[in-house]
Amino acid sequence: MDVAAEHRARAAQDRARAAAAVLPNVRALHLRAAETWDEMARQTDYGSKCAATNKAAKDADDARGSGRS
């Protein structure tokens, strides 16, 4: 399982805990935690896309023999 998927799974767990919570402040705590896990998943996805783009650009430069390192 990749990191973003783990974050999404934790967000789902916190949403389930929020749904089961009786006290409003506990429900809000779990909903905020779920939002945090969702944001971490989005950031992980974005970082992975950036890394893939950078690798593709470097590979293209290497294929052209640009001499940059």
pLDDT of residue 39: 96
Q: Where are the domains of the chain?
A: 3-61
pTM: 0.74
Tell me the H-state helices in 1-69: 3-20, 24-64
As a residue count, the chain comes to: 69
| pLDDT tens digits for range 5-55 | 999 999 999 999 999 999 999 999 999 999 999 999 999 999 999 999 999
Long-range pairs for 34-39: beta carbons < 8 A, 24 or more residues apart: 35/11, 37/7, 37/8, 37/10, 37/11, 38/7, 38/8, 38/11
